[in-house]
Amino acid sequence: MQQQTSSNSNTQGSQQMNHGGHELFDMHEVLGCTINVLDQFMMFRQFVQDPELLDILDRQYNFTLSQYNLTAECFTTGQKPSQETSTYMIKNVTQPIYGLTPSQPKKPNQSLADVKDAGISGHMLGLIKSHASTLTMCAAEVTNPVVRRVLASQVENYIEMGYEIFMYQNKNAYYQVPQLAAADTQQMLNSFVPATGKPQMPSNAVTTIH
């Protein structure tokens, strides 16, 4: 019995140690940043006035919390988490509104009474975009195959979450999208063409040795 217990302990220990040193620092950054997103979303909630924005905030909070839990689990154990990674779904995908409409110039809030949905949604978007970048950077440096896949699978979801917030801001003219003149746009679109024919790759010293 003692030998079996010792064997199980050694197995668990080897599972938990299958991380590189740099990976440990990266994962602490990922999980710490995820907590920051959750905490700040919780603080934002009391200021939200629009029910649509509140719905987005709550759904994104719940999704982020679920991803935090399974990421923390697989990082601690080094093994596949007990729950599968999930896909974040945007409720209503709408076409972007292009062009600029007159709006009031922006300036820093003078008090908490000045906090509005435009600013809250802007903070949300900044957090989500930053977290997507952190996940991407760390996923490329993680050596544990399970943890790497868990991080990588989340990147697309946070991109979707960011786009959902963008659509809300764009619809309400909080995030306006200017365009270039038609002629300039066309010139930029035609600046690149697909490669044709078979590339003439130079010889490699390794392949020429017989």
174 token code pair: 């909080």
Token code pair at residue 68: 């935090």
pLDDT in tens, 35-71: 999 999 999 999 999 999 999 999 999 999 999 999 9
Instruction: Please report which confidence band the pLDDT of residue 7 belongs to, taking 50, 70 and 90 as the band edges.
Output: very low
164: pLDDT strictly greater than 60? yes
Three-state secondary-structure class, residue 99: strand
Report the pLDDT value the prediction gives residue 85, as an integer from 0 to 100: 87
pLDDT tens digits, 176-190: 999 999 999 999 999
Q: Given this model, what pLDDT does residue 208 score?
A: 58
**Can you give the pLDDT at residue 103?**
86
CATH of domain 1-84+116-177: 1.20.1260.10
Whole-number Cα distances in Å, 153 to 56, 70, 84, 139, 162: 21, 12, 10, 9, 15
Taking the C-alpha atoms of residue 82 and residue 29, their distance in angstroms, rounded to an integer, is 22
pTM for the whole structure: 0.86
Mean pLDDT of 109-135: 96
Reference 174, options 56, 46, 4; nearest CA is 56
Q: Which residues contact 163 (CB under 8 A, 6 or more apart)?
A: 90
Q: What is the pLDDT of residues 148-162, one digit of tens each?
A: 999 999 999 999 999
Q: For residue 98, give the 3-state DSSP assignment.
A: strand
Per-residue model confidence as pLDDT tens digits over 86-101:
999 999 899 999 999 9
Task: Please give the structure tokens belonging to residue 115.
Answer: 């906090």
Map out the domains of the chain as residue ranges.
Answer: 1-84+116-177
> Which residue blocks in the chain are alpha helix, DSSP H?
2-16, 21-45, 51-77, 117-139, 145-171, 182-189, 205-208
